[in-house]
Structure 1
Amino acid sequence: MRALARTDPGSRWESRLIRSAHPVVARVVDVAVSRRGVVRVPGVGVLVADPRSARRVLTDTDAFAKNGPGSSGALWTPVLGDRVLLNMEGDDHRGLRHTLADLFSPRVVREVCDAAARPIVAGAAARLRVGEEVDVVRLAREVSAAVIGAVVGLDPETPPSVLLEASDAIESMVTWRTRTFDDAAAQRARAALAVVQDAAESAHAAASSATVMGRLAERGAALDDARSLAAALFLTGTGTVSSALPRIVGQLADAGLLEPRAATACRLDDVVAEGLRMTTPSLATLRRVVRPTEIDGVRLRADERVVVLLWWATRRDGGFEPGRPATGDLRHLWFGAGSHFCLGAPLALAELQAMTGMLLELAGEHGLVVTSRRAARRVLVPRYAELTVRCPAANRARARAGSGAGATGARSAGRAA
């Protein structure tokens, strides 16, 4: 296993983001997993940072579960109840996933994402084309809120800040030490989630094929399923997508891929895939040991807590290299694996492709530079607090155009005189 610190600029910034978000935990984990990929840490659980072992934990549902004490499902059960994608297992889980599968096909989510994200992305592109700075963090947060709002059926006139404030409120309630919510905390979390769950309830009642929740109703899915799905998508999709885009842009800048010739040569799918491998916004996921088992020479006891360290598991030799496929156990590991593989992955990809595609297009035309960036401190999902970009060539092109127009006007005035 390799230490957290890396030598290339992109990896150093990633390490800085992780340590700014979790100053103590990041260092403890890095030391713990620096020599072997599976290690027991008293009071924390069994840490898994090796991609092969991580995939084994995520796919072996006979030995590892997402519900019960110490699991991530247990965290949300007091808030959302027992029947949520985040804490379900077995036949019920498979049945609900089957019901939802084609509602999150690449074609469907592209339609939803295009309608919700296009005006925001186009506005950012227009500002960059006239030489203004754009904060990519703000862009990503607004797009992720708009897209999730469209999925759950939120009134399009609702300001993105409403969803973002709810997301921030819930994130602030969770730390690495949080095992479950007490009654007071669960009540606060339910209050924050009300904005998306109430929207989902209204969309489900309308049963319109124009919304995802309406289509769910058309299939006979229960109202509780719609409300829990809306909450699950909101909890897992808002913070991660808004974290990923600025980090991908930072990786592109540090690799010199925002210069015109380099940006033109980039394939969008490769950039997003490698960007997600490099950033892996969901740092970790939890499982409970169902029965005694062994993994990588470490004996696990029933009901022991397993912390699958996804960000650490997706590290590999070399920095940010679009076009170098992540194969084998590493393939798509940033979205998880097995029966709980991220249902919203196509939606996240559509959002990231819409935003990254716009930025790469402008970089290919004019070049983009990162003018400032700052890591967010003590947050659950590691991210930038700010990352601004600008097209210097756009300013120069405008200046030349203005100069040319002025000269033409002067010549015309001279001829008229």
Structure 2
Amino acid sequence: MSSLALTRRAARTDVGARWESRLIRAAHPVVARVVDVAVARRPVVRMPGVGLLVADPVAARRVLSDTEHFAKQGPGSSGALWTPVLGDRVLLNMDGDEHARLRRLLADLFSPRVVDEVCREAADPIIARAGERLRSGEALDVVQLARDVSAAVIAVVVGLSADTDPAALVRASDDIESMVTWRTRALDADDVDRARRALAVVQDAAEAAHREARGDTVMGRLALQGVSLDDGRSVAAALFLTGVGTVNSALPRIIGQLADSGLLERGPATSTDVDAVVAEGLRMTTPSLVTLRRCARPTELHGIRLRQDERVVVLLWWATRLEGGFDPGRRTPAELRHLWFGAGSHFCLGAPLALAQLRAMTAMVLEVAAERGLVIARRRAARRVLVPRYAELSLGAGAGG
């Protein structure tokens, strides 16, 4: 590659990295800048009023994997936020044998074979229509595509009734997200009530599947194992919360990175490895910006002594940064491998489902780009949201189209 081509590639990479930073700062305008400064010199550091910040990938993996010293329950943990809303037996706030049993019960519903079948049923028709629009010269808002696909897919997996309004599902996700900030340690009574009302659209739609007790949906599988309707409703809501947010955030950001890197120009996309694009896109975007733990017993992390019940804020987005920006051709370092989905016993159960959706939508965009070339027609960052994302990212025909 010539020096001029390398210079152009570096400039494009810088554009993609700048947009990622812009999305983070639009979502968290004050905290993101403070965290940038705090972890610039020390990747593990205490921040008064927030907790121990962990931006080192090795330390982050240890926190996520070491359930003896770091728990998802108790003050300052993610469980403290969701237990009042969902109850105390949903994957988001469980540890130990009960957590492992529930994961085993649901695991094969998230196997690659099953999620591929679900995507063919629920996602492929939506994606095909989107591809037709792009090929006909219409603009396509990738944000809306991701929202439509993620709602349709999670509805099938959980077993929501066929007449469930996808837009209502997405609104419920947005409503829940708006209640939480970096400093939130617990939801007050009004927020708990509001969250329960928002999630009712998911939980009510899941009841029929629980009654039918078929083994091909989450709710049916739970019913067959004797899990009560109330607990099943809570698990459905938890899977919905985690299943929709990742895809909605990641897909438009991955497409943005492809465009900023010149990989949506006509021609180059024909040889692009979709799996490599999605893996590097998830590394670059890391939709779960942070995850929370409570120090369950005194320990040491990265040379710092932690007190029992100290809050630990694992900065996943900061921990997954690499020099050079978005590069699907790079080999991901071992310490970062799949870290955007967590680690240890709490590694994201729905990761295969998210990957299947992202692969299908990304492949469609790359196929159309190879035929006619695509460019970003419009984009804007979503402001003051928990999960950084685009409010809009519209693709249109490129110069070669």
TM-score (norm 2): 0.94
User: What's 2:4 paired with?
Assistant: none
Q: Does 1:241 align with 2:241?
A: no
Aligned residues: 390
Distance 2:241 2:162 in 1: 20
Q: Give the superposition deviation at 1:391.
A: 2.4
Contact 1:40 1:47 in 2 (8 A): yes
Most deviating of 257-266 and 127-136? 257-266
Q: Shift of the alpha carbon at 1:48? A: 0.1
**Residue among 144, 147, 157 paired with 2:150:** 144
Over residues 58-105 of structure 1, what are the superposed CA-to-partner deviations in whole Å (9 max), with x where a residue is unaligned? Answer: 111111001100001110011111111111111111111111111111
Q: Tell whether 2:277 aligns with 1:271.
A: yes
Q: Is the 8 A contact 2:161 2:208 kept in 1?
A: no
Tell me the C-alpha RMSD between the 2 structures: 1.5
Other structure's SS at 1:34 match = helix
Q: List aligned pairs for 1:113-132, cutoff 5 A.
A: 113-132=119-138
C-alpha contact 1:268 1:353 (8 A) present in aligned 2: yes
Give the AA of the match of 1:271.
V
* Distance in 2 of aligned mates of 1:384 and 1:236: 18
**How far apart, CA to CA, are the structure 2 residues paired with 1:149 and 1:307?**
31
Question: What corresponds to 1:213 in structure 2?
Answer: 219
Write the distance in 2 (CA, Å) between the matches of 1:212 and 1:299: 41
Q: Distance in 1 between matches of 2:71 and 2:164?
A: 37
Q: 1:84 aligns with which of 71, 84, 90?
A: 90
Determine which of 282, 295, 298 is the counterpart of 1:292. Answer: 298
Aligned partner of residue 297 in structure 2, secondary structure: coil
Partner AA of 2:222 in structure 1:
L
The question of whether the paired residues in 1 share the 8 Å contact of 2:146 and 2:252 is answered with: yes
Tell me the alpha carbon deviations over residues 276-333 of structure 1, each in whole angstroms, 9 at most, x when there is no partner: 0000001000000011111111111000000000000000111111132223210000
Aligned positions of 1:318-337 closer than 5 A: 318-337=324-343
CA distance in structure 1 between the aligned counterparts of 2:221 and 2:116, rounded to whole angstroms: 16
CA deviations 1:371-398 (Å, max 9, x no partner) are: 111111111110111110012468x5xx
- Equivalent positions of 1:366-405 (< 5 A) are 366-392=372-398
Deviates more, 1:224-233 or 1:127-136: 224-233
Runs of at least 5 residues in structure 2 that lack an aligned partner in the other structure: 1-11
Q: Which moved more, 1:215-224 or 1:327-336?
A: 215-224
Specify the alignment match of 2:191 in structure 1.
185
Among candidates 55, 72, 80, match of residue 74 of structure 1: 80
State the SS of the aligned residue for 1:380. Answer: coil
2:41 counterpart (35, 39, 43): 35
How far off its partner does 1:7 sit?
A: 7.2
Distance 1:85 1:204 in 2: 18
How far has the Cα of 1:335 moved from its partner?
A: 0.2
CA distance in 1: counterparts of 2:32 and 2:326, whole angstroms: 21
Quote how far apart the aligned CAs of 1:210 are.
4.5
Q: Does 1:261 align with 2:257?
A: no
User: Does the alignment pair 1:13 with 2:22?
Assistant: no
1:202 matched residue in structure 2: 208
Structure 1 unaligned regions, length at least 5: 1-5, 397-417
8 Å Cα contact 2:49/2:183 also seen in 1: no
- 1:342 is matched with 348
Q: Which amino acid aligns with 1:367?
A: G
Identity of aligned residues (%): 73
1:55: which partner in 2? 61
The answer on whether the counterparts of 2:142 and 2:252 sit within 8 Å (CA) in structure 1 is: yes
Determine helix, strand or coil for the equivalent of 2:267.
Answer: helix
CA contact 2:106–2:221 (8 Å) conserved in 1: no
1:232 counterpart letter in structure 2: A
Q: Distance in 1 between matches of 2:227 and 2:111?
A: 18
Question: Is the 2:65–2:344 contact (alpha carbons within 8 Å) kept by the matching residues of 1?
Answer: yes
Q: Aligned-pair distance for 1:239?
A: 1.9
2:265 and 2:398 in contact (8 A); partners too: no
Matching residue within 100, 103, 108 for 2:109? 103
Match of 1:63, as an amino acid? H
Q: Which residue of 2 aligns with 1:406?
A: none
How far has the Cα of 1:227 moved from its partner?
1.6
State the distance in 2 between where 1:7 and 1:91 align: 45
Contact 2:140 2:396 in 1 (8 A): yes
- CA deviation string 1:340-361 (max 9, x = no partner): 1001101100111111110011
Shift of 1:159: 2.7
SS at match of 2:91: coil
Whichever residue aligns with residue 333 of structure 2, its letter is T
Distance 2:96 2:329 in 1: 37
**By how many angstroms is 1:189 displaced?**
0.6
Corresponding residue SS for 1:100: helix
- Give CA deviations for 1:120-143 in whole Å, capped at 9, x if unaligned: 111111111110000111111111
* Correspondence 1:398-413 to 2 at 5 A: none
Q: Secondary structure at the match of 2:30?
A: helix
Query: Do the aligned residues in 1 keep the contact of 2:381 with 2:389 (CA within 8 Å)?
Result: yes
1:164 aligns to 2:179 (yes or no)? no
**SS at 2:41 equivalent:** coil
1:271 to partner: Cα distance = 0.4
